[in-house]
Amino acid sequence: MSDGWTDRKRRSICNFLVNSPKGTVFMYSLDTSDISKTTDKVFEMLDEMVGTVGEENVIQVITNNAANYKAAGKRLMEKRKHLYWTPCAAHCIDLMLEDFEKHIPLHKTTISSGRKITTFIYARTMLISILRNFTKGRDLIRPATTRFATSYLTLACLNENKGALMNMFSSKEWTESKFSSIRDGKQVENCVLDNGFWKNIVTCLQAAAPLIKVLRLVDSDEKPAMGFIYEAMNCGRERIKQNFNNVKKSYEPIWNIIDERWEAQLHRPLHAAAYYVNPHFRYSPSFQNDYFVKDGLFKCLDRFILDEDTRSTIDRQMVDFSEARGMFGLNSAKANREKMSPADWWLAYGDGCPELQKFAIRILSLTCSSSGCERNWNAFEMVHTKRRNRLHQKKMNALVYVKSNLKLRNKEKRSHVSSFDDMHSDDEWITEGIDVEDEEDEVEQPLYVNDKKSIILFIHKIYTSSARQEPVENPRQSRARDFPHLPPNQTLPLPRRRRLLLLHSLEALLHYLRQDLLQRDDGTERSDATR
């Protein structure tokens, strides 16, 4: 997966991540501020990333839908014959919602009015206080500029608080406030008390709500969405039709906008193939075994399965799967079709068709959006703060690598992590979520020199163990020893514990140990852990 980000110094950063059933792993980032993001350059970056991971390990490459990324993706598929480029599904759905606002006047005026209401209230602390009295502490969602779904979520929140808002703008607190007499206040009051405005909100939500449900599906990390997006989009279209009581002139403009994006950008062979082999839908009476689904399935088979004998075997096994023969027809297999995740179901009941099983698991384990890249921006924001805004891109890249992947690692319980001391510090961005035992349970752990995160955690234990056993030093003496190059009145650059945690190379750690821990001249006895 790849996506762009702009940091506090206005540098353009391009993130590269790898997604698997275990989670999304941050690989590296590139500073592209001085690079013109032409098709050739984007193709070069994506191709290099595929080479780093290994082409045999890559099934798809996901980017946004910009024209240069789209052209680069096509070139990548021409060079790498065994993978697909697919656009980010979350971005495509965002663009659909944006098109609603752009091309349907009712949506444009209603969202503008809703934005005016929230902006007017949240720009004045007194009105926020009055609002919370009527909404019982609930806040209104304010529109953002990056994700257009937020506009419709704001309308939904306004609709939920319709009664509270109407009571507020009819109350004594509002009429006696100075804001009720200004021009903007009168406009907002008239809008809130206009029944037509609330009817328009309902009309907008009837069109947008089914797509927002799909957006939440593809934007979630809970389960791979590849096997569900095809059916979700079809159900979303039908739900919109029902919301408008099957009146064609009402839902047809909505369908046209959705179909234009779906056919031109979002609909891909991987989506159809995953839908076909998903047991949640394959045995349903409403399963669509049409030309488009089969065409996507066969295109994926042609791209991923080159051996003719294996392909023939899969074709025969596909009949067994469709007819629920063998293990597919077991009572437990039937009962778990919708209870288990599709990939787990194939892992449990697909052993009779190993070739088809491997193909199905690889397809059904895929994500269909690059939302992991956007969530990785939070790690950049936590590392590249106002106080730490001079970090070079290389060092920032290393820190984000530790931050992002340490969170993924901590999702699984590992025996060598549970024995470390509780790491309370102000460095939550690098020690977040570590499962630890009590400090009294001191267990020696081996130092794995090929695992940087293990080194950081292990050395932190050594340092805190040493700090508990050694006598407390005079702050000035400690300062003079640790920072001999600084004038006495200059502020320390970083606390010692944070300085330790920021060491991310083996050489720097060894140098720190020799200089700061093992060569003190106070003659204090060292514990085994300190040695």
Domain boundaries, given as residue ranges, for the chain: 2-87+383-416, 90-220
Report how far residue 492's alpha carbon sits from residue 228's, in angstroms, rounded to the nearest whole number: 54
For residue 43, the model assigns a pLDDT of: 92
Lowest mean pLDDT: which of 42-51, 117-126, 141-150?
141-150
Q: How confident is the model at residue 148 (pLDDT cuts 50, 70, 90)?
A: low
Residues in the chain: 531
Inter-residue contact 102 to 108 (CB < 8 Å): yes
Residue 436: C-alpha distances to residues 321, 327, 443, 455 (Å): 46, 43, 12, 16
**pLDDT at residue number 163:** 93
Highest mean pLDDT out of 191-200, 374-383, 424-433, 506-515: 191-200
Check residue 469 and give its pLDDT.
Answer: 38
CATH architecture of 2-87+383-416: 2-Layer Sandwich (3.30)
Q: Which residues contact 164 (CB under 8 A, 6 or more apart)?
A: 131, 134, 135, 136
Burial class (CB in 10 A: 0-12, 13-18, 19+), 529: middle
Q: Which residues pair with 17 in a beta bridge?
A: 26
Question: For residues 29 and 16, what is the distance between their CA atoms, to the nearest angstrom?
Answer: 6
By the 8 A CB rule, do 63 and 2 touch?
yes
CA distance 184 to 117: 9
* pTM recorded for the entire structure: 0.70
What would the pLDDT profile of 50-89 be if each residue is shown by its tens digit?
999 999 899 999 988 888 888 999 999 999 999 999 999 9
For residue 371, give the nearest of 94, 143, 161 by alpha carbon: 94
- Token pair 């590139």 is found at 30
Q: What is the rounded distance in angstroms from the CA atom of residue 90 to the CA atom of residue 83?
A: 21
* pLDDT, averaged across the chain: 77
Q: Which residue has the tokens 């009294």?
A: 440
User: In the chain, pLDDT over 70 holds for what percent of residues?
Assistant: 67
